[in-house]
Amino acid sequence: MNTVDRIAHPWGTRTPYGRHESWPDRVDTYLTEGIEPGAVEQWVQAASILHSDGDAMDIAVVGGRMVGVRGRAVDRVNRGRLGPKDLFGWQANASADRLRRPLIRMEGRLAECDWDTAMDRVVGHTRQLLTERGPGSIGFYTSGQLFLEEYYTLAVLARAGIGTNHLDGNTRLCTSTAAEALKESFGCDGQPGTFDDFDHADVIALFGHNLAETQPVQWMRILDRLEGADPPQVVCVDPRPTQVAARATVHLAPRAGTNVALLNALLHEVIQSGCVDERYIESHTVGFEELAGQVEACTPRWAADICDVPAARICEAAEVIGRARRLTSTVLQGIYQSHQATAAAVQVNNLHLVRGMLGRPGAGVLQMNGQPTAQNTRECGANGDLPGFRNWQNDSHVAELARVWNVEASKIPHYGPPTHAMQMFRYAEQGSLRMLWISGTNPAVSLPELARIRSVLAQERLFVVVQDLFLTETAQLADVVLPAATWGEKTGTFTNADRTVHLSDKAVDAPGEARADLEIFLDYAARMDFRDKDDRPLITWHDAETAFEAWKRCSAGRPCDYTGLTYDRLRGGSGIQWPVNEDAPDGTTRLYTDGITWADPDTCEAYGKDLITGAADDVVEYRSLNPDGKAMIKAAAYLPPHEEPNQEYPFQLTTGRTLYHFHTRTKTARAPQLNAAAPEVWVEISTADADARQLHEGDLVEVSTRRGALRGRLRITAIRPGLLFVPFHYGYWDTPAGHGPDEATPGRAANETTITDWDPASKQPLFKTAAAALTLLERGEGAPAPAPTNTASAPTSAGHVLDTTGGQAAHVVEEAGTARDGREGSR
């Protein structure tokens, strides 16, 4: 047993293991000071809701209050380990400033009211708009943080109740490129690989993925392998000096927005050196010749100029990847939110297809998710696809859905692709969208070009409903605010980035009158009296478990088949990977173990798009490209980023995350240990750029772009020269202005500066490439920037090491090798 300060040592103690061995258990437990383990009255099963890893845990309850958490050793994902946000984030649930009652806008101000008043206003508005303007005037913008049962209910009520095509999730900002890249290559969404691949790989390649900070528990797994027998080689493609880069065999730090050039050069080398698996290509793919032609001229020397990476280092990376016998790759926001997102993500799939690195232990690609439940937003059809990965262009898929819901097919909008979030905001800006119901997301901080987003949401003619835990920057602009219960206060299931389904049970009551999102959606559906074609209620379920059963019927026979799961099966043991059905009663570790399963023209989720223009193909084009339903190798030419630095805006600007915060910090800033570790925004710059401008650690600077500006203290790091980085976590709810910059509160949100622009295929906004200027506002006088020092934001100068110990309050008990058998720790 060990006690570790898990703010200072986020990844805890090592439990090394060798290749092809199984990852040892290590149970992490954190209990509020003064609570002894023996005093815990109940341990309630749950999984983490602060990233896509799905770390399984039990919530400790005493006297109806949460008092701590403990990792679940029995779970396949984390074997008992928890990351800093898992350990400390739950404390936010009990904040004094949780929303307890609904609010409605009266004479310009938000005032408390009862549920009937609030819901009547929402229903009254809906009915009026349906009569006067039709279903196209109503939109829903949801999350990647609710539960499966909630998305499915929302998808049914929006698509078959209201009949609107305007339903999307903030997953558009997060994993729409993951979904799109999987559809482009395999005809269907669904993660091919599994986290188990980390146990078997001899090479692990991370593309634009700061795994150490954003999925710290899987990073613990890689660290344990690096210290065990036969460790893997690691390839890292990231312009920042992440912990992943620090442990990499080869680190490539390209100019932001040049991923396609780099990947094409890697493919060029792999093909030139004959490291391709011809048998695999022949049996399972189409399109190889086109790719070979496309990358023929993409030599490392060519890419070196574009990416500003030494050609020799590209060759080195290509050699490691080309010689791998079991290659596992991960892809995340450094690709998905950067220029040519889908084109680049698809080239990572191509590396695996040409090398035959799929469907075997250690040979897998993880087009990673970010949010904890983003997978469910996608599979339930609460984003740009129809439920069950059904194809909106395929009439028989729409007819099947109509049968499941017992409605006429014509009721389900499928005249065009479901509207993406950026387009919904455009419709609201232009006035055709008149009601926007926002649940579990905070667009007034997380969308690009915030001045524009604030002005869209503040319009008189747009009726805005916000369903949240707190009075966020977005809620402050709403007409109706609905107080939601959250994780730990409600029951439901969700699916992590490697298709593992977890159940998360209710541990404590929600504060005040707050209600579970499911309850709110069901109440709305009942008040709207949505009916099926036989005049019976459209929505036939009444709680989480019955909603799950309804979803199972919708998922039957589709790739994300849940028919073999029940709440009972998910209680007590490990999470289970879908599909789970008669053919795979214990779940499915890897997809595509025996060829490509869902790319057949009749079953595929999408007919694909042109990666450069985004133009959608139709069934005829798809059939001629891929008649036999193989994997599709799609090539793409490199194009330069849309906004390049110039004299006025000489830097590239990129944005992203730090280990200790989650997004707009509504939870992590209310957890004292996490907040203290990263209390304020900062700006990262390279030593070379700082020296050239005589700037110092801690100087107050302004970063500006053509959209807007923010201020922060300077942190000098080993980031690539020419690039600035700003974490996007800091909005305004905890500043004097409360909702946006004004005279008392200068800008500090990264998205004041980002551009309204998106990937043509996935429609994911660009958060990673912009051109920016930097000005000095005030000298720092020696105090370091308020940035963590044990992460990618570590300072280059040792003199500026801030004390990052969390102290007593961050002490976590770690128990390694506790062999726990069987089913444990449920309610």
Binding mask 366-385 for ligand MGD (x = CB under 6 A): ----xx--------------
Which range in 273-281, 364-372, 444-452, 624-632 contacts Mo ion by CB under 5 A?
Answer: 364-372
- Give the Cα-Cα-Cα angle 707, 713, 718 (nearest 5 degrees): 95
Least Å distance, CB 653 to ligand MGD, is: 10
Q: Give which of 574, 554, 570, 555 is closest to 492, Cα–Cα.
A: 570
How many chain residues interact with ligand MGD (CB under 6 A)?
Answer: 64
Query: At residue 88, what is the residue type?
Result: F
- CB-based burial label for 777 (10 Å; 0-12, 13-18, 19+): exposed
C-alpha to C-alpha distance for 96 and 99, rounded to whole angstroms: 9
Judged by CB under 5 A, does residue 361 bind Mo ion?
no
Judged by CB under 6 A, does residue 510 bind ligand MGD?
no
Whichever of 329 and 369 has its CB closer to Mo ion, that residue is 369
Whichever of 574 and 664 has its CB closer to Mo ion, that residue is 664
Least Å distance, CB 515 to ligand MGD, is: 10
Q: What is the DSSP string of 431-463?
A: TS--EEEEES--HHHHSSSHHHHHHHHH-TTSE
Whichever of 48 and 264 has its CB closer to Mo ion, that residue is 48
Whichever of 254 and 786 has its CB closer to ligand MGD, that residue is 254
Judged by CB under 6 A, does residue 793 bind ligand MGD?
no
Tokens in use for 602?
């009749």
C-alpha to C-alpha distance for 434 and 448, rounded to whole angstroms: 21
Candidate residues 182, 205, 237, 755; the one interacting with ligand MGD per rule CB under 6 A: 237
C-alpha to C-alpha distance for 677 and 512, rounded to whole angstroms: 30
Candidate residues 367, 664, 675, 686; the one interacting with ligand MGD per rule CB under 6 A: 664
Whichever of 303 and 596 has its CB closer to ligand MGD, that residue is 303
Judged by CB under 6 A, does residue 663 bind ligand MGD?
yes
C-alpha to C-alpha distance for 339 and 337, rounded to whole angstroms: 7
DSSP 23: P
Least Å distance, CB 610 to ligand MGD, is: 22
Q: What is the DSSP string of 498-519?
A: TSEEEEE---SPPSTT-B-HHH
Candidate residues 348, 659, 724, 772; the one interacting with ligand MGD per rule CB under 6 A: 659
* Coil vs helix vs strand at 6: coil
Judged by CB under 6 A, does residue 391 bind ligand MGD?
no
Q: Give which of 448, 453, 451, 454 is closest to 655, Cα–Cα.
A: 448
686: partner contacted, choices ligand MGD, Mo ion, none (Cβ within 5-8 A by kind): none
259: partner contacted, choices ligand MGD, Mo ion, none (Cβ within 5-8 A by kind): ligand MGD
666: partner contacted, choices Mo ion, ligand MGD, none (Cβ within 5-8 A by kind): ligand MGD
Whichever of 259 and 735 has its CB closer to ligand MGD, that residue is 259
Tell which positions 164-183 bind Mo ion, by CB under 5 A: 174
Least Å distance, CB 465 to ligand MGD, is: 11
Whichever of 252 and 501 has its CB closer to ligand MGD, that residue is 252
Judged by CB under 5 A, does residue 727 bind Mo ion?
no
Candidate residues 210, 342, 423, 603; the one interacting with ligand MGD per rule CB under 6 A: 210
Are 306 and 260 in contact by the 8 Å Cβ rule? The answer is no
Candidate residues 86, 168, 202, 238; the one interacting with ligand MGD per rule CB under 6 A: 238
Q: Give which of 385, 383, 389 is closest to 422, Cα–Cα.
A: 383
ω before 387 within 30° of 0 (cis)?
no
C-alpha to C-alpha distance for 293 and 287, rounded to whole angstroms: 10
Judged by CB under 6 A, does residue 208 bind ligand MGD?
yes
Whichever of 100 and 823 has its CB closer to ligand MGD, that residue is 100
Are 246 and 240 in contact by the 8 Å Cβ rule? The answer is no
Judged by CB under 6 A, does residue 661 bind ligand MGD?
yes
Closest-approach residue to ligand MGD (CB)? 370
- CB-based burial label for 76 (10 Å; 0-12, 13-18, 19+): buried
Tell which positions 515-534 bind ligand MGD, by CB under 6 A: 517
334: partner contacted, choices Mo ion, ligand MGD, none (Cβ within 5-8 A by kind): ligand MGD
- CB-based burial label for 598 (10 Å; 0-12, 13-18, 19+): buried
- CB-based burial label for 213 (10 Å; 0-12, 13-18, 19+): buried
Whichever of 27 and 245 has its CB closer to ligand MGD, that residue is 245
Which range in 104-112, 368-376, 508-516, 612-620 contacts Mo ion by CB under 5 A?
Answer: 368-376
Judged by CB under 6 A, does residue 655 bind ligand MGD?
yes
Binding mask 730-769 for ligand MGD (x = CB under 6 A): --------------------xx--x------------xx-
Are 369 and 375 in contact by the 8 Å Cβ rule? The answer is yes
Whichever of 356 and 708 has its CB closer to ligand MGD, that residue is 708
Tell which positions 243-302 bind ligand MGD, by CB under 6 A: 254, 256-257, 259
Which range in 95-103, 143-151, 158-166, 224-232 contacts ligand MGD by CB under 6 A?
Answer: 143-151
Candidate residues 4, 345, 424, 484; the one interacting with ligand MGD per rule CB under 6 A: 484
Which range in 190-198, 480-488, 611-619, 691-699 contacts ligand MGD by CB under 6 A?
Answer: 480-488
Which range in 334-342, 525-533, 590-598, 738-746 contacts ligand MGD by CB under 6 A?
Answer: 334-342
Whichever of 242 and 495 has its CB closer to ligand MGD, that residue is 242
Judged by CB under 5 A, does residue 211 bind Mo ion?
no
Q: Give which of 394, 439, 397 is closest to 421, Cα–Cα.
A: 439
Judged by CB under 6 A, does residue 332 bind ligand MGD?
yes
Q: Is the dihedral of CA 441, 342, 365, 598 positive or negative?
A: positive
Query: At residue 679, what is the residue type?
Result: P
Q: Give which of 663, 678, 790 is closest to 50, Cα–Cα.
A: 663
The DSSP bridge partners found for residue 632 are 286
The torsion region of residue 64 among left (phi > 0), alpha (psi -120 to 50) and beta comes to left
Binding mask 154-183 for ligand MGD (x = CB under 6 A): ----------------x--xx---------
Are 7 and 84 in contact by the 8 Å Cβ rule? The answer is yes
Q: Is the dihedral of CA 512, 514, 519, 522 positive or negative?
A: positive
231: partner contacted, choices Mo ion, ligand MGD, none (Cβ within 5-8 A by kind): none
Q: Give which of 724, 772, 752, 757 is closest to 642, Cα–Cα.
A: 757
How many chain residues interact with Mo ion (CB under 5 A)?
Answer: 3
Which range in 138-146, 346-354, 560-568, 604-612 contacts ligand MGD by CB under 6 A?
Answer: 138-146
Whichever of 478 and 631 has its CB closer to ligand MGD, that residue is 478
Return the CA Rg of the chain. Answer: 25
Helix (H) or strand (E) holding 691: helix 687-692
Judged by CB under 5 A, does residue 370 bind Mo ion?
yes
Least Å distance, CB 208 to ligand MGD, is: 3
C-alpha to C-alpha distance for 727 and 783, rounded to whole angstroms: 19
Give the phi and the psi of residue 345 in degrees, each rounded to 5.
-60, -35
Q: Give which of 608, 641, 612, 642 is closest to 624, Cα–Cα.
A: 608
Helix (H) or strand (E) holding 685: strand 682-686
Binding site residues, ligand MGD, CB under 6 A: 51-52, 85, 143-146, 170, 173-174, 207-210, 213-214, 237-240, 242, 254, 256-257, 259, 332-334, 337-338, 370-371, 439-443, 446, 467-470, 472, 484, 486-487, 517, 654-657, 659, 661-664, 666, 728, 750-751, 754, 767-768, 792
Binding site residues, Mo ion, CB under 5 A: 174, 370-371
